[in-house]
Amino acid sequence: MELFKYEKPLSLMSHAKRFGILSMILVLTSLGLIFTKGFNMGIDFAGGTVIQVQYDQKAPIDEVRNVLNTQEAYKGASVTYFGVDEEIVIKTKTSSKNVGTDIGDQVRELLKDTQGFKEVRRVDMVGAKVGSELREKGLMAMVLAIIGILIYVSFRFEWRFAIASVMALIHDVTIAMGMIVLFSVEVNLDILAALLTILGYSLNDTIIVFDRIREGIRTIKEPDLAGIIDESVTRTLSRTTLTSLTTFFVVLTLFLFGGEIINGFSFTLLVGVIVGTYSSIFVASPILMWLGFSVGGFRAKEAEKLKREKDKEKMRAMYEQGTL
Amino acid sequence: MLNFRVIIFAFALIFGVVFSIPSLMQSESGKKITLGLDLQGGLHMLLGVKNEVAIASKSKSIASSVKYLFDDEEIIFDALKLDEDTGVITFEILDKDDIAKVNKLLKEELEGVTFSENALKYSIQMTAQEIERTKKDAIDQAVDTIRGRLNEFGLAEPTVAKQGEDKILVEVPGIKTQEDEQRIRELIARAAHLQLMAVDEDRIARVNSMSAAEAKSYGNVILSDVNTGEKYLLKGIPVLDGSMLTDAKVGFDENSQPVINFTLNGQGAKIFGDFTAISVGKRMAVVLDDQVYSAPNIRERIGGGHVQISGQFSMEEAHDLAIALRSGSLLAPVYVMEKRSVGPSLGADSIKASSIALVLGFVLVVAFMVIYYGMAGVIANVALIGNLFLILAIMSLFGATLTLPGMAGIVLTVGMAVDANVIINERIRELLHEGKSIVKSIEDGYNNAFTAIWDANVTTLIAATVLYAYGTGAIKGFALTMSIGIMASMLTAIVGTHGIYQWIVPKMDKNRLGYWFGIKGSK
């Protein structure tokens, strides 16, 4: 079976402006959402407690709310169904420190007489100080990962490739964050992991395309970068689509069957796979053009490099023969 | 023809299968993947250590050393004071001829302090290094003590580790009931600071009308009974504390009530004997973590260093208390900064859900590859399965912890691991379309694809490494599975499948490209 049969290059770069505008709109909308509506910070970053309770029957949410509201410490706690009718999750800013005893024990004590109560299945409590530390560490991880990538790609390709791939990354992560805000996904450590995975995934995709462009510069006779990009992107198109499809299948099964706890994580990945694929085709390469990457210059540099290597070899040979 | 690539791959496959068996069949012996707390249930706590308490008590002991030294050398001094906020100890000597002697004593007998003298007024302070050392000791001691307590409790594989400068991570897997969880929590956090204190018999009659400040002015403290709430006025400097204790065991009193019998070391026994000898007819309080457990009347001198705490304990309480006392008190108290507890049933549900996703995702990818690439897809699938086994094997050998995000990491690796083979297969197809021979297409396909796969994987690996270095718990697990997956996929997809192609290439037929590579013949 074949999805794309390579006939002649698609003329993608002639539409670069349109994709640029689309991306701009998406990124700006995402930034707007992030700065106006803001993240729904989960307890990992904001501190607080999440308690998951299981019932034998449909959980009596109103009763639970009433019981909790009798206590000052739990006023304003959110109580929602969690995946199924028998499970609820209680979220509160309160932590064990505020109630002077273990918060899990106290909630169990409060709820044990509610209709059909079975057990407290999970208690996650994070102090506010830990939360802010995690937030700093997470941000630090992102920044460091990006610096590492910049250095590696500059070293292996050229600095414009590095900038373009990192800009594509930021594009993807920003849009993913925008979707997280739009759908009020709770941001916890696993969401951070998902964002970092998107970073890795989208990068993977972009590098594959860039590798083809680098190869194209050497082998395709065309002097014009747009033509080389068109050809390279078209040639990698079936690979990009295929890999995205297999990854998409897997993430989709994770989203559909992975259970409620991992829902936010798989949702973020789902967005990431789609945006990551789009950006490696339509965003990364136009940025390369826009940054003024010159084919001639690259070729001259490559030739220079080749020449230097040859010279070195010649010197070595001469040295070995004792003629130096 | 067999070649070295196939042999390497075969070895990798055997290695993968052999070392993942113990993890797959949980009953087998051998190195296994540990399931994270989110998958098997358990208690995770991040404890903060109150260093300042350890430092304050260190300053107190410096102050008492000063007093002991000067009394011993018969130096007359006055107004020995400790400012608890700054940790500065001040005193005044009366005779200026003593200055040389005092300076010598302070220099030679006290460690880790600096002092200054001005018009016979001295002030002593711990050095910055000493403060750092005290903090470090306090947390190291807390880690050891908590580990000791959990081991004595008899739990399977608890983890107690220092995190950063002043935090302790405790993970206790496999807790079955809420009561157990509660007991473990109390056992960990218990300061277990035992003190034997004399009752101030002269003033205790007024204890109920006395303020804490007034008690302090007499050098006393007011503490209350753990069961009855009755107040006691006790002398502030304890007769003995838990540091002189050598053993603590559960025993029974005459009414068959559980009690704790503890034994003091030689020095403790002597002090205790001397104290009881001069205090006949008075009361002595057994104080644990600032609560009075009992305050018996001393009827005679008690030698031998055997003391008993009674306090209407349940058998379990007595047992846990004895463990806490045996393993020593915490120099610095700990408090819970983060706590996550997962019930065993939830863990099982999570495993089930993500296993379903893993199997389904896997089947989808495998089927898709065969439909799309024909035999080339089958070969890619062999690499994929090899990859999965390798991940499991390497994780087992490292004793790595598999968490829920870690499982997601594996699921994702399955999706991404076929990528290398997709790149290679696409390259081979391109070359076949150009009309190259099968052997040439395969060789060039691998050569052309190599740099792309290499660069893409190394960059992803960079991201994963950063994630591992900066992540905590679950994220670390995720980064680990992803890194192992990437490396395993380089081996299986680049070396393994290449070897298989080289092995079976004589059987491949240019007229059956549809069967072998899923494409129609060349143009």
Beta strands of A133-269 (E only): which ranges?
A: 186-187
* Neighbouring-strand partners of residue B220: B235
Query: Among candidates B506, B514, B510, B485, which has minimal Cα distance to B376?
Result: B514
- In this prediction, residues B371-395 reach a mean pLDDT of 92
d(Cα A11, Cα A18) in Å, to the nearest integer?
13
Which of B335, B338, B470 is facing A125, going by the closest CB pair?
A: B338
Beta strands B231-235 and B167-173 are unpaired
pLDDT band, very low/low/confident/very high, at A164 (cuts 50, 70, 90): very high
Cα B498–Cα B502–Cα B503 angle in degrees, nearest 5: 115
Which chain B positions have a beta carbon within 8 Å of A137's beta carbon?
470-472
Query: Rounded distance, CA B2 to CA A225, Å?
Result: 44
Report the percent of chain A where pLDDT is more than 90: 23
Residue among B361, B404, B405 whose CB faces A253 most closely: B361
Q: What is the DSSP string of B169-199?
A: EEEEE---SHHHHHHHHHHHH----EEEEEB
Angle at B490 between CA A234 and CA A196, to 5 degrees: 75
- Which chain A residues touch B412 with a CB distance below 8 Å? 197, 247, 250-251, 254, 269
Residues A247-303: pLDDT tens digits? 888 889 888 988 888 888 889 999 999 999 999 989 999 998 888 878 888 888 888
* Burial class (CB within 10 angstroms; exposed 0-12, middle 13-18, buried 19+) of B486: buried
Tell me which of B49, B178, B187, B412 to substitute to probe the interface with A (most A C-beta atoms closer than 10 Å).
B412
* CA separation for the pair B147, B161 (Å, rounded): 9
Supply the pLDDT for residue A24. Answer: 94
Highest mean pLDDT among A142-146, A279-283, A317-321, B154-158: A279-283
Parts of chain A belonging to CATH 3.30.70.3400: 48-126
Q: Range(s) for CATH 1.20.1640.10 in chain A?
A: 13-40+130-293
How far B470 CA lies from chain A's nearest CA (Å)? Answer: 6
**What are residue B241's DSSP bridge partners?**
B195
Candidates A144, A203, A206, A250, partner chain B, best to mutate (most B CBs within 10 A): A250
For residues B328 and B283, is the Cβ–Cβ distance under 8 A? no
How distant is the Cα of A37 from the closest Cα of chain B, in angstroms? 27
| A248 SS3 class | helix
| Residue A28 burial (CB count, 10 A) | 12
Give the pLDDT band of residue A35 (cuts 50, 70, 90).
very high
Q: Residue B229 corresponds to which tokens in the numbers above?
A: 């709430």
| A108 contacts in chain B (CB < 8 Å) | 178
Who has greater pLDDT, B137 or A96?
A: B137
| Residue A319 distance to chain B (closest CA, Å) | 32
Give residue B301's pLDDT: 85
Quick check: A137 and B335 CB within 8 A? no
**Which residues of chain A neighbour B350 with C-beta distances below 8 Å?**
259, 261-262
Q: What pLDDT, on a 0 to 100 scale, did the predictor assign at position B316?
A: 81
pLDDT over 90 at A223, yes or no: no
CA A317 → CA B132, B145, B289, B467, distances in Å?
A: 60, 67, 81, 46
Q: Which of A269, A291, A278 is nearest to A199 (CA)?
A: A269
Question: pLDDT per residue over A57-87, tens digit each?
Answer: 888 988 888 888 888 888 878 888 888 888 9
How high is the pLDDT of residue A6?
A: 64
Domain range A13-40+130-293, CATH class: mainly alpha
Query: Is-contact A201 A273, C-beta < 8 A?
Result: yes
B341 close to A123: Cβ distance less than 8 angstroms? yes
Given a cut of 60, whether residue A225 has pLDDT beyond it is yes
- The angle at the Cα of A89, spanning A84 to A92, to the nearest 5 degrees, equals 165
Tell me the residue length of chain A: 324
Least confident of A3-7, A186-190, A283-287, B437-441: A3-7
Query: How far apart (Å, rounded) are the C-alpha atoms in residues B501 and B509?
Result: 13
Residue B156 pLDDT greater than 70, yes or no: no
Structural contact between residues A102 and B182, judged by C-beta atoms closer than 8 angstroms? yes
Confidence (pLDDT) at B27: 66
Contacts of A109 in chain B (CB under 8 A): none
The answer to whether domain A48-126 has CATH 3.30.565.10 is: no
Residues with Cβ within 8 Å of residue B512, at least 6 apart in sequence:
none
Distance from C-alpha of B385 to C-alpha of A168, rounded to nearest angstrom: 32
Nearest CA to B411 out of B352, B355, B373 is that of B355
| B519 to A118, A242, B376, B449, B510: CA distances (angstroms) | 58, 15, 11, 19, 11
Question: In the numeric block, which tokens belong to residue B263?
Answer: 């034994």
pLDDT of residue A324: 66
Predicted ipTM of the assembly: 0.82
- The tens digit of pLDDT for each residue in B447-479 reads 989 988 998 888 888 888 887 887 766 677 778
pLDDT tens string B494-506: 899 999 999 988 8
Contact B452 A248 (CB under 8 A): no
pLDDT band at A23 (very low <50, low <70, confident <90, very high): very high
pLDDT at B353 over 80: yes
What angle, rounded to 10 degrees, do the helices at A263-282 and A16-36 form?
Answer: 150
Which residues in chain B touch residue A2, judged by CB atoms under 8 angstroms apart? 429, 518-519
Measuring CA to CA, which residue among A279, A151, A269 is closest to residue A206?
A279
Instruction: Give me the mean pLDDT over the B47-56 stretch.
Output: 84
What DSSP state is assigned to residue A311? H
Identify the residue among A214, A253, A256, A266 best suited for mutation to test binding to B, counting B beta carbons within 10 A and taking the highest: A253
User: What does the pLDDT read at residue B38?
Assistant: 81
Closest-CA residue of A relative to B411 is A250
Q: Please tell me the distance from the alpha carbon of residue B496 to that of residue B487, in angstroms, as a whole number.
A: 13
Tell me what pLDDT residue B523 has: 45
Q: What is the 3-state secondary structure (H, E, C) of B8-76?
A: HHHHHHHHHHHHHHHHHCCCCCCCCCEECHHHHCEEEEEEEECHHHHHHHHHHHHHHHHHHHHHHCCCC
**Least confident piece of the model among A161-175, B68-82, B141-155, B314-328:** B68-82
Whether B353 sits inside 8 A of A246 (CB atoms) is: no
Q: Chain A: give the shortest CA distance to residue B130, in Å.
A: 27
B457 neighbourhood in chain A, CB within 8 Å: 204
Tens-place pLDDT, residues A37-57: 999 888 888 888 899 999 998
Residue A127: name the closest of A39, A43, A51 by CA: A43
Taking all residues of chain B, what is their mean pLDDT, rounded to a whole number?
Answer: 83
Q: For B213-228, how does the pLDDT look when each residue is reduced to its tens digit (9 = 90+)?
A: 888 777 788 898 888 8
Going from the N-terminus, what domains does chain B have, and what CATH number goes with each? 4-40+343-517 (1.20.1640.10), 43-52+131-341 (3.30.1360.200)
Q: Are A246 and B418 in contact (CB under 8 A)?
A: yes
Contacts of B456 (CB under 8 A, 6+ apart): A203, A204, A207, A208, A211, B419
Question: Terminal CA-to-CA distance of chain A, rounded, Å?
Answer: 59
The structure tokens listed for A15 are: 């539409």
